[in-house]
């Protein structure tokens, strides 16, 4: 298979929607069934149907899956908000208030709470670089099956990301999928 055919095969089919976005934007999110809905530097939303793949043995959403959603959504948002510069999560805290059971749909929303405070890195090899810190809040709710609206909140996270990291040449296109789907 030539390179052009391989690229066509990897492109989402027209009409695949939010699942295609997740596949292109974050393969681990896609693997658990997460669907990206809204995507911008100031807000990211999506949903996840709780399946056996994302449950712990008691048939409720695994806390690690909640953390995966939080880190992934915050990282996408910080990447866009930093002008598609490289970002790295440096701290994640999460509180779980309620559980989401097998078959529930979880709604997720990530928004920035702090978009920059420059600091100089003290590591010798990076000492000439200035970095931004971005903090994102990610909330998860169970969807009310009778109304289709947001129901009780199940978790809340804070994700701190180091931004404006040097971007290696081989990763210069890392933000292309975000640019493709984002509302800028």
Active-site annotation, residues: 71
d(CA 85, CA 79): 6
Pairing of strands 119-120, 150-165: unpaired
d(CA 56, CA 147): 27
d(CA 111, CA 164): 19
Residues 6+ apart with CB under 8 A from 40: 80, 182, 183, 184
Helix (H) or strand (E) holding 39: strand 35-40
């Amino acid at each position: 298979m030539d390179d052009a055919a391989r690229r066509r095969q990897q492109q989402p089919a027209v009409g695949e929607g939010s699942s295609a976005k997740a596949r292109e934007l974050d393969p681990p999110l896609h693997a658990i069934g997460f669907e990206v809905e809204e995507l911008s530097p100031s807000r990211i939303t999506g949903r996840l149907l709780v399946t056996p793949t994302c449950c712990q043995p008691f048939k409720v959403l695994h806390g690690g899956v909640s953390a995966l959603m939080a880190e992934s959504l915050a990282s996408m948002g910080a990447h866009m908000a930093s002008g598609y510069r490289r970002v790295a999560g440096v701290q994640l805290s999460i509180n779980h208030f309620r559980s989401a059971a097998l078959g529930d749909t979880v709604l997720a929303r990530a928004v920035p709470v702090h978009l920059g405070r420059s600091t100089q890195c003290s590591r010798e090899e990076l000492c000439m670089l200035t970095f931004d810190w971005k903090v994102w809040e990610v909330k998860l709710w169970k969807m009310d099956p009778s109304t289709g609206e947001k129901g009780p909140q199940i978790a809340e996270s804070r994700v701190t990301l180091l931004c404006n990291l040097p971007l290696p040449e081989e990763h210069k296109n890392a933000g292309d999928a975000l640019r493709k789907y984002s509302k800028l």
